Structure 1
Amino acid sequence: MLKKVAIIGGGLGGLAVAIALHKQGINAQVYEKARFLHSVGAGLSIVPNGLNSLEAIAPGITESLKGAGSPTQMLTLKKSTGEMIAQKAVTLMEKYGQPMLLIRWSRLQEILASALPPETIHLDRRCIGFEQNDKGVEVYFDGRDKVQADLLIGADGLNSAVRQTMIGDGEPCYAGRMSWRAVLKYSHEMLPANEVMSMTAPDGKIFGFFDLGSGYMFWAATSLWPDESIIHTGDAKSRVQEKFLNWAEPVQAILKATNAEDIVERPICDRPPLQNWSQGRVTLLGDAAHPMVPLLGQGANTAFEDAWELSQHLCHAPSITDALVSYENSRKPRTQIIQIRNAVQANRSYKADSETYLRGMLEKAQVSDREFEEWLYNYKPSVAAYT
């Protein structure tokens, strides 16, 4: 009998699986290392497979999300000089019944957290490990009392403490690129509503602009960077301004308008696909299991798929062991395909001929990727069947 589940990580995947389990009457408790749920300088896209999963987890939630975000209607690609390369209408709503929805990460977290009883989210709980036996799991926290549970879910991201205790595969793999990003209230005549615009240069740099709705704009810049440990003097704003010096507007305007303290500077990393996500009464979810570089926008969306499927297997399988085996068998093949395709396309986007490559992706109307797109976005959550 599954009475209590401990979830490490109060991010999007952790909150989603907690909601899914609560809907099934399971006591799911979330333990988050942050002292409070605070604004994160990022936006993200929720696409049909993610929206369908969230709607299955919490019926009606997608309407709330659509009111809090911006449905993308146009993708625009330009050179760093401002010259137009290609433009493409986004037709996901017409094809798959759900839009490409851009939303602030922190706003999405707020909406998910509000769907849980407040007493189920425990802040300032930094997991440092666990021990388990055939009767349960004992979870340890830095300077806090330990917790007993029947099942432990590691939803604690790229640098998962649960993953390290279980697998011990060390640091993530540096992808050779540095990123800078920020969210701010901002408008510019060159940045229409409901549009995503990317600017690219042949020396391994990309600058993207994303309308998040409610007057918010998200920008993300990436550049080839030989060594993640090499950071020159000065602040992050100075570095990104130096890297994108002389780029056409609106790059200069939005960088000038962004407060230095609001810019998040991070190396881009991922990990190779895992052979196993589970061990005994412990399993992984989202970025803890299958982290991806930010290109196809599937990190959160596949975490929502994970959350739905894991909850279904736990509710319908005859045992925890059977549930976790079924969960892995279902999720690993799909997420591995997305991980690998994501990594390959990300590497191609930063080659010297990136303008030609990206133009081809848009102008060919995804001909070579059509089957992949249909397979990706046609994902429909279903109830796990056991006999």
Structure 2
Amino acid sequence: MKAVIIGAGMGGLSAAIALKQIGVEVEVYDQITENKPVGAAISVWSNGVKCLNHLGLEKETAALGGIVDSMSYIDGFTGDPMCRFSMQPLIDEVGQRPYPIARAELQLMLMNAYGIDDIHFDKKMVSVSDGPDAATVEFADGTILSADLVIGADGARSIAREYVLGHPVERRYAGYVNFNGLVDVDETIGPATEWTTYVGDGKRVSVMPVAGDRFYFFFDVTMPEGQPYRPGTAREFLAESFAGWAPGVQQLIVALDPATTNRVEILDLDPFHTWVRGRVAVLGDAAHNTTPDIGQGGCSAMEDAVALQFAFVEHPDDLHAALAAYESARTERAGELVLRARKRCDVTHAKDPAATAAWYDELRSEDGTRVIRGIVSNIVGGPLTS
């Protein structure tokens, strides 16, 4: 069997590696000409780490991951701790340490694991269609190819999704913009092995460690969609947006590099449950575009890849049965994570100011139990964490 995967992101490459493991002939195509991932880093929670381990990347993943021993919430204005607690209970319960990882390094790890020289770059898909004996893909350069199976891991603006659903869908603006990047570890901002989050007025500033003595940082700013922004002005914009915030936040603004700080308008997509049309299936952001508020977008894409592999192991001689099993295994779980992230997003970013104020009050009496319970509930339920 030959599978063509459109998209060399986390989901597409994880699927490519997973299918190769069981003897499927795989070709990967992507429109990018070089490895430039969106966003500086990603929280790979324990379910995602278990997927990478399953793909044979346990040592490589651990080498790239930051060590998060504790988690804290800080009053954004006073700098006073609201709560601080160990992550060990979570690790003990789910059996795997989570790892924040620089996104470019994770991407390169997956590319190398698949075979970076075997990835077809600068190939933009413009259409996909199903047929009785094969699915067909057409690229912008006029190339047409066929395969037994096409996996559309082509991201949030997926062409494959439009084909599978039979119509386009509109993504929903989540109400905030995320600024993110990497800085050297600085303990005046937060402890070197802690995920530190400053909160206040429906805004959020966070740092977490990644390998190489660096912090991944992000700022969330609520604002209307489509506001003008001049690249390279992140420091001035954030200094104004977070004027009066705690010294740690001010130090982070000074430390960041405006030239490499990303600005991303956050959107998501209402869950849907049709992921397969004939020999064409969607995976990753194409199937479940989510906000980053519970850190499960990339992890869910990796779960897709493992579930796809399991489906073909269960139905090695029946492609359509395998794809039906994949769809059945994933749509409810992935859709639930989208809605959980949306709910957390609304509380974090003060869609209802009273609910956000109540959350801040809860944090001031938090011993870690409720937060860890919530994170664990996101982690369990996938193909390797049932």
**TM-score of the pair, normalised by structure 1:** 0.90
Worse overlay, 139-148 or 263-272: 139-148
1-structure distance, mates of 2:126, 2:233: 30
1-structure distance, mates of 2:291, 2:330: 18
5+ long unaligned stretches in structure 2: none
Q: Which residue of 1 aligns with 2:262?
A: 264
2-structure distance, mates of 1:291, 1:214: 30
**What secondary structure is seen at the aligned counterpart in 1 of 2:346?**
helix
**What secondary structure is seen at the aligned counterpart in 2 of 1:357?**
helix
Displacement of 1:37 after TM fit?
Answer: 1.4
Q: Which residue of 2 aligns with 1:385?
A: none
In structure 2, do the counterparts of structure 1 residues 20 and 62 end up closer, same or farther at CA, with 3 Å as the change threshold? same
Check whether the contact 1:180–1:263 (CA below 8 A) recurs between aligned residues.
yes
Q: How does 1:81-120 map to 2 (within 5 A)?
A: 81=77, 82-91=79-88, 92-120=90-118
AA aligned to 2:25 is N
1-structure distance, mates of 2:180, 2:242: 13
Q: Which residue of 2 aligns with 1:330?
A: 329
2-structure distance, mates of 1:302, 1:114: 21
Q: Which residue of 2 aligns with 1:377?
A: 379
Displacement of 1:375 after TM fit?
Answer: 4.7
Matched, 1:80 2:76: yes
AA aligned to 1:334 is R
AA aligned to 2:359 is Y
Q: How does 1:210-289 map to 2 (within 5 A)?
A: 210-226=208-224, 228-231=225-228, 235-237=232-234, 238-289=236-287
AA aligned to 1:172 is R
Output one character per residue of 1:136-186: Cα deviation in whole Å (capped at 9) or x when no partner: 111111225222111111112211121133333333111111111112334
Displacement of 1:74 after TM fit?
Answer: 1.0
**What secondary structure is seen at the aligned counterpart in 1 of 2:143?**
strand
**What secondary structure is seen at the aligned counterpart in 2 of 1:55?**
helix
AA aligned to 1:296 is I
Displacement of 1:315 after TM fit?
Answer: 3.4
In structure 2, do the counterparts of structure 1 residues 321 and 206 end up closer, same or farther at CA, with 3 Å as the change threshold? same
Matched, 1:65 2:58: no
In structure 2, do the counterparts of structure 1 residues 76 and 374 end up closer, same or farther at CA, with 3 Å as the change threshold? closer
Worse overlay, 256-265 or 6-15: 256-265
**What secondary structure is seen at the aligned counterpart in 2 of 1:125?**
coil
Displacement of 1:240 after TM fit?
Answer: 2.5
Find the partner of 1:45 among 37, 43, 51: 43
| Count of residues in Structure 1 that have an aligned counterpart in Structure 2 | 377
Output one character per residue of 1:283-331: Cα deviation in whole Å (capped at 9) or x when no partner: 1111111111111111111111110010221233141211111111111
1-structure distance, mates of 2:364, 2:149: 44
Q: How does 1:175-214 map to 2 (within 5 A)?
A: 175-202=174-201, 204-214=202-212
Check whether the contact 2:185–2:209 (CA below 8 A) recurs between aligned residues.
no
2-structure distance, mates of 1:374, 1:197: 19
Q: Which residue of 2 aligns with 1:171?
A: 170
2-structure distance, mates of 1:297, 1:246: 28
**TM-score of the pair, normalised by structure 2:** 0.90
Alignment root-mean-square deviation, CA: 2.3
Check whether the contact 2:189–2:252 (CA below 8 A) recurs between aligned residues.
no
AA aligned to 2:32 is A
In structure 2, do the counterparts of structure 1 residues 39 and 377 end up closer, same or farther at CA, with 3 Å as the change threshold? closer
**What secondary structure is seen at the aligned counterpart in 2 of 1:222?**
strand
Matched, 1:339 2:338: yes
Check whether the contact 1:6–1:30 (CA below 8 A) recurs between aligned residues.
yes
In structure 2, do the counterparts of structure 1 residues 366 and 23 end up closer, same or farther at CA, with 3 Å as the change threshold? same
2-structure distance, mates of 1:120, 1:296: 33
In structure 2, do the counterparts of structure 1 residues 249 and 117 end up closer, same or farther at CA, with 3 Å as the change threshold? same
AA aligned to 1:344 is K
**What secondary structure is seen at the aligned counterpart in 1 of 2:175?**
strand
Displacement of 1:40 after TM fit?
Answer: 4.7
1-structure distance, mates of 2:272, 2:182: 33
Worse overlay, 267-276 or 188-197: 188-197
Displacement of 1:259 after TM fit?
Answer: 2.2
Check whether the contact 2:188–2:251 (CA below 8 A) recurs between aligned residues.
no
In structure 2, do the counterparts of structure 1 residues 303 and 75 end up closer, same or farther at CA, with 3 Å as the change threshold? same
Q: Which residue of 2 aligns with 1:321?
A: 320
Check whether the contact 1:7–1:152 (CA below 8 A) recurs between aligned residues.
yes
Displacement of 1:216 after TM fit?
Answer: 1.7
In structure 2, do the counterparts of structure 1 residues 368 and 193 end up closer, same or farther at CA, with 3 Å as the change threshold? closer
**What secondary structure is seen at the aligned counterpart in 1 of 2:294?**
coil
Output one character per residue of 1:105-137: Cα deviation in whole Å (capped at 9) or x when no partner: 111111111111334311111111112211111
Output one character per residue of 1:89-119: Cα deviation in whole Å (capped at 9) or x when no partner: 1122222211121111111111111111334
5+ long unaligned stretches in structure 1: 383-387
2-structure distance, mates of 1:332, 1:359: 35
1-structure distance, mates of 2:38, 2:335: 27
**What secondary structure is seen at the aligned counterpart in 1 of 2:359?**
helix
1-structure distance, mates of 2:39, 2:339: 27
2-structure distance, mates of 1:66, 1:359: 35
